[in-house]
Amino acid sequence: MACNLINKKITKQLILYFILLALWQILVSLKIWPQYLLPSPAKVCATLAEGFKNHTFLIGIMISFKRLLIGFGISIFCGAALGVFLLKYKIIDEALSGLILGLQTLPSICWFPLAIIWFNLSEWAIIFVIIAGSLFSITMATSTAFKNVPPIYIKAGRNMGARGVTLLRKVIIPAAIPSLLIGLRQSWSFAWRSLMAGELLFNSLGLGYLLYMGRELNDMSMVLAVMLVIAAISITIDRWIFGELEAKIRLKYGL
Protein backbone atom coordinates (compact mmCIF):
# COMPACT_ATOMS: atom_id res chain seq x y z
CA MET A 1 0.00 0.00 0.00
CA ALA A 2 2.77 2.40 0.99
CA CYS A 3 4.76 1.54 -2.17
CA ASN A 4 1.71 2.27 -4.34
CA LEU A 5 1.28 5.67 -2.71
CA ILE A 6 4.97 6.48 -3.23
CA ASN A 7 4.81 5.36 -6.88
CA LYS A 8 1.73 7.52 -7.49
CA LYS A 9 3.46 10.52 -5.90
CA ILE A 10 6.59 10.03 -8.04
CA THR A 11 4.44 9.64 -11.17
CA LYS A 12 2.63 12.90 -10.43
CA GLN A 13 5.93 14.69 -9.90
CA LEU A 14 7.35 13.34 -13.18
CA ILE A 15 4.22 14.46 -15.05
CA LEU A 16 4.54 17.94 -13.54
CA TYR A 17 8.23 18.16 -14.50
CA PHE A 18 7.39 17.04 -18.05
CA ILE A 19 4.71 19.75 -18.32
CA LEU A 20 7.17 22.40 -17.08
CA LEU A 21 9.79 21.27 -19.61
CA ALA A 22 7.18 21.36 -22.39
CA LEU A 23 6.14 24.90 -21.41
CA TRP A 24 9.81 25.93 -21.31
CA GLN A 25 10.38 24.53 -24.81
CA ILE A 26 7.24 26.26 -26.11
CA LEU A 27 8.48 29.62 -24.76
CA VAL A 28 11.83 29.07 -26.49
CA SER A 29 10.09 28.15 -29.74
CA LEU A 30 7.97 31.32 -29.64
CA LYS A 31 11.23 33.33 -29.60
CA ILE A 32 9.82 35.92 -27.21
CA TRP A 33 13.33 36.31 -25.81
CA PRO A 34 16.61 35.83 -27.68
CA GLN A 35 18.38 32.47 -27.27
CA TYR A 36 21.11 33.92 -25.04
CA LEU A 37 18.47 35.13 -22.54
CA LEU A 38 16.34 31.98 -22.56
CA PRO A 39 18.29 28.92 -23.76
CA SER A 40 16.46 25.72 -24.66
CA PRO A 41 16.22 22.76 -22.25
CA ALA A 42 18.52 20.82 -24.58
CA LYS A 43 21.23 23.50 -24.34
CA VAL A 44 20.97 23.63 -20.54
CA CYS A 45 21.20 19.81 -20.40
CA ALA A 46 24.30 19.96 -22.60
CA THR A 47 25.85 22.52 -20.23
CA LEU A 48 24.98 20.26 -17.28
CA ALA A 49 26.61 17.27 -18.96
CA GLU A 50 29.72 19.29 -19.86
CA GLY A 51 29.97 20.70 -16.32
CA PHE A 52 29.98 17.22 -14.79
CA LYS A 53 32.24 15.82 -17.51
CA ASN A 54 34.99 18.38 -16.88
CA HIS A 55 34.41 18.12 -13.09
CA THR A 56 33.58 21.82 -12.71
CA PHE A 57 30.27 21.07 -10.99
CA LEU A 58 31.72 18.25 -8.88
CA ILE A 59 34.53 20.47 -7.60
CA GLY A 60 32.05 23.29 -6.91
CA ILE A 61 29.74 20.92 -5.00
CA MET A 62 32.59 19.54 -2.85
CA ILE A 63 33.93 23.00 -1.99
CA SER A 64 30.46 24.32 -1.17
CA PHE A 65 29.69 21.31 1.01
CA LYS A 66 32.95 21.67 2.91
CA ARG A 67 32.04 25.26 3.78
CA LEU A 68 28.48 24.25 4.63
CA LEU A 69 29.53 21.45 6.97
CA ILE A 70 31.93 23.72 8.85
CA GLY A 71 29.53 26.67 9.13
CA PHE A 72 26.40 24.65 9.85
CA GLY A 73 28.27 22.44 12.34
CA ILE A 74 29.41 25.50 14.29
CA SER A 75 25.86 26.91 14.13
CA ILE A 76 24.35 23.70 15.51
CA PHE A 77 26.81 23.51 18.42
CA CYS A 78 26.68 27.20 19.37
CA GLY A 79 22.98 27.65 18.61
CA ALA A 80 21.93 24.63 20.68
CA ALA A 81 24.16 25.73 23.58
CA LEU A 82 22.72 29.26 23.45
CA GLY A 83 19.17 27.89 23.29
CA VAL A 84 19.73 25.76 26.41
CA PHE A 85 21.36 28.75 28.13
CA LEU A 86 18.30 30.91 27.43
CA LEU A 87 16.05 28.15 28.70
CA LYS A 88 18.01 27.86 31.93
CA TYR A 89 18.07 31.59 32.71
CA LYS A 90 14.62 33.08 32.23
CA ILE A 91 15.71 36.69 32.85
CA ILE A 92 18.32 36.51 30.07
CA ASP A 93 15.77 34.81 27.81
CA GLU A 94 13.29 37.66 28.32
CA ALA A 95 16.02 40.21 27.64
CA LEU A 96 17.56 38.60 24.55
CA SER A 97 14.76 36.65 22.84
CA GLY A 98 13.50 39.72 20.96
CA LEU A 99 17.02 40.60 19.78
CA ILE A 100 17.72 37.03 18.65
CA LEU A 101 14.42 36.93 16.78
CA GLY A 102 15.33 40.20 15.04
CA LEU A 103 18.78 38.88 14.08
CA GLN A 104 17.18 35.69 12.74
CA THR A 105 15.04 37.67 10.30
CA LEU A 106 17.99 39.60 8.83
CA PRO A 107 18.73 38.65 5.19
CA SER A 108 22.13 37.05 4.64
CA ILE A 109 23.29 40.02 2.57
CA CYS A 110 23.18 42.20 5.72
CA TRP A 111 26.14 40.23 7.13
CA PHE A 112 28.36 40.86 4.08
CA PRO A 113 29.94 44.13 5.32
CA LEU A 114 30.82 42.60 8.71
CA ALA A 115 32.19 39.47 7.07
CA ILE A 116 34.48 41.47 4.78
CA ILE A 117 35.64 43.87 7.52
CA TRP A 118 36.32 41.14 10.10
CA PHE A 119 37.68 38.38 7.85
CA ASN A 120 38.65 40.20 4.64
CA LEU A 121 38.04 38.29 1.40
CA SER A 122 38.76 34.87 2.87
CA GLU A 123 37.21 31.46 3.33
CA TRP A 124 36.11 32.40 6.84
CA ALA A 125 34.12 35.34 5.49
CA ILE A 126 31.85 32.88 3.68
CA ILE A 127 31.67 30.58 6.71
CA PHE A 128 30.77 33.56 8.89
CA VAL A 129 27.83 34.39 6.60
CA ILE A 130 26.64 30.77 6.88
CA ILE A 131 26.89 30.87 10.68
CA ALA A 132 25.13 34.23 10.93
CA GLY A 133 22.37 33.00 8.63
CA SER A 134 21.55 29.84 10.62
CA LEU A 135 22.81 30.30 14.20
CA PHE A 136 19.89 32.31 15.54
CA SER A 137 17.34 30.06 13.84
CA ILE A 138 18.82 27.05 15.66
CA THR A 139 18.86 29.03 18.93
CA MET A 140 15.18 29.89 18.65
CA ALA A 141 14.27 26.37 17.54
CA THR A 142 16.13 24.82 20.50
CA SER A 143 14.64 27.20 23.05
CA THR A 144 11.11 26.83 21.65
CA ALA A 145 11.33 23.02 21.42
CA PHE A 146 12.33 22.71 25.07
CA LYS A 147 9.73 25.22 26.21
CA ASN A 148 6.99 23.25 24.43
CA VAL A 149 7.76 20.00 26.24
CA PRO A 150 4.54 19.15 28.14
CA PRO A 151 5.05 19.89 31.88
CA ILE A 152 3.43 16.57 32.75
CA TYR A 153 6.41 14.76 31.16
CA ILE A 154 8.81 16.65 33.41
CA LYS A 155 6.66 16.01 36.49
CA ALA A 156 6.45 12.31 35.65
CA GLY A 157 10.23 12.15 35.21
CA ARG A 158 10.83 13.82 38.54
CA ASN A 159 8.37 11.49 40.26
CA MET A 160 10.42 8.58 38.93
CA GLY A 161 13.61 10.11 40.37
CA ALA A 162 15.09 11.87 37.33
CA ARG A 163 16.92 15.08 38.19
CA GLY A 164 19.35 17.47 36.48
CA VAL A 165 21.26 15.96 33.56
CA THR A 166 19.32 12.68 33.82
CA LEU A 167 16.01 14.53 33.47
CA LEU A 168 17.38 16.46 30.50
CA ARG A 169 18.80 13.36 28.78
CA LYS A 170 16.00 10.90 29.50
CA VAL A 171 12.89 13.10 29.38
CA ILE A 172 13.27 16.62 28.02
CA ILE A 173 15.50 15.95 24.98
CA PRO A 174 13.50 12.90 23.71
CA ALA A 175 10.24 14.87 24.09
CA ALA A 176 11.72 17.86 22.23
CA ILE A 177 13.30 15.86 19.36
CA PRO A 178 10.37 16.21 16.88
CA SER A 179 10.34 20.01 17.28
CA LEU A 180 14.14 20.14 17.23
CA LEU A 181 14.23 18.29 13.92
CA ILE A 182 11.75 20.72 12.36
CA GLY A 183 13.90 23.62 13.55
CA LEU A 184 17.05 21.93 12.23
CA ARG A 185 15.40 21.40 8.85
CA GLN A 186 14.49 25.08 8.65
CA SER A 187 17.95 26.15 9.79
CA TRP A 188 19.54 23.96 7.09
CA SER A 189 17.60 25.87 4.43
CA PHE A 190 18.83 29.17 5.93
CA ALA A 191 22.42 27.90 5.95
CA TRP A 192 22.17 26.67 2.34
CA ARG A 193 20.84 30.01 1.10
CA SER A 194 23.46 31.88 3.13
CA LEU A 195 26.18 29.74 1.55
CA MET A 196 25.00 30.56 -1.97
CA ALA A 197 24.93 34.24 -1.09
CA GLY A 198 28.30 34.14 0.71
CA GLU A 199 30.07 32.55 -2.25
CA LEU A 200 29.35 35.67 -4.26
CA LEU A 201 31.72 37.59 -1.95
CA PHE A 202 34.93 36.85 -3.82
CA ASN A 203 36.45 34.71 -6.56
CA SER A 204 36.59 31.26 -5.02
CA LEU A 205 35.25 28.04 -6.51
CA GLY A 206 31.82 26.92 -5.35
CA LEU A 207 28.31 26.70 -6.71
CA GLY A 208 27.60 30.34 -5.87
CA TYR A 209 30.72 31.43 -7.71
CA LEU A 210 29.69 29.39 -10.76
CA LEU A 211 26.43 31.35 -10.77
CA TYR A 212 28.43 34.56 -10.61
CA MET A 213 30.67 33.48 -13.51
CA GLY A 214 27.63 32.55 -15.61
CA ARG A 215 26.25 36.02 -15.07
CA GLU A 216 29.56 37.76 -15.82
CA LEU A 217 30.00 35.76 -19.03
CA ASN A 218 26.35 36.33 -19.97
CA ASP A 219 26.00 32.55 -20.19
CA MET A 220 22.37 31.93 -19.21
CA SER A 221 22.64 28.19 -19.88
CA MET A 222 25.38 28.01 -17.20
CA VAL A 223 23.24 30.02 -14.77
CA LEU A 224 20.23 27.76 -15.28
CA ALA A 225 22.35 24.61 -15.10
CA VAL A 226 23.86 25.65 -11.76
CA MET A 227 20.40 26.61 -10.48
CA LEU A 228 19.16 23.12 -11.36
CA VAL A 229 22.12 21.56 -9.52
CA ILE A 230 21.44 23.69 -6.43
CA ALA A 231 17.74 22.84 -6.51
CA ALA A 232 18.47 19.12 -6.97
CA ILE A 233 20.85 19.09 -4.00
CA SER A 234 18.32 20.96 -1.83
CA ILE A 235 15.49 18.58 -2.72
CA THR A 236 17.69 15.49 -2.22
CA ILE A 237 18.93 16.49 1.22
CA ASP A 238 15.52 17.70 2.38
CA ARG A 239 13.77 14.55 1.14
CA TRP A 240 16.27 11.76 1.81
CA ILE A 241 17.92 13.04 4.98
CA PHE A 242 15.55 15.31 6.88
CA GLY A 243 12.43 13.72 5.39
CA GLU A 244 13.54 10.19 6.33
CA LEU A 245 14.58 11.28 9.84
CA GLU A 246 11.26 13.02 10.38
CA ALA A 247 9.33 9.98 9.14
CA LYS A 248 11.24 7.66 11.50
CA ILE A 249 10.72 9.99 14.47
CA ARG A 250 7.02 10.38 13.70
CA LEU A 251 6.69 6.59 13.51
CA LYS A 252 8.61 6.12 16.75
CA TYR A 253 6.56 8.70 18.65
CA GLY A 254 3.26 7.73 17.03
CA LEU A 255 2.72 11.18 15.51
Structural domain spans, the chain = 1-32, 41-253
Q: Domain 41-253 is in which class?
A: mainly alpha
Residue 3 pLDDT: 54
Please say if the pLDDT value at position 204 is more than 80.
no
Neighbour count for residue 206 (Cβ, 10 Å): 24
Closest CA to 136 of 189, 65, 206, 75: 75
Please say if the pLDDT value at position 253 is more than 90.
no
Mean pLDDT, to the nearest integer, of 199-218?
Answer: 82
pTM of the model: 0.84
**210 or 164, which is more confident:** 210
Give the dihedral sign, CA 46/51/53/58.
negative
The overall average pLDDT reported for the chain is 84
Whole-angstrom distance, CA of residue 13 vs CA of residue 165: 46
**10 or 214, which is more confident:** 214
Please say if the pLDDT value at position 6 is more than 70.
no
Span 166-189, pLDDT tens digits: 777 778 888 888 888 888 888 898
Please say if the pLDDT value at position 43 is more than 70.
yes
Residue 2 pLDDT: 47
Please say if the pLDDT value at position 1 is more than 60.
no
Mean pLDDT, to the nearest integer, of 234-250?
Answer: 83
Residue 156 pLDDT: 82
Own/partner pairs, 147-155, CB within 8 angstroms, 24+ separation: 147/87, 148/176, 148/179, 149/175, 149/176, 150/175
Percent of the chain exceeding pLDDT 90 equals: 13
Please say if the pLDDT value at position 9 is more than 70.
no
Please say if the pLDDT value at position 74 is more than 90.
yes
How many Å separate Cα 131 from the centre of its chain? 12
Please say if the pLDDT value at position 249 is more than 70.
yes
Predicted confidence band of residue 58 (pLDDT cuts 50, 70, 90): very high
Count, residues in the chain: 255
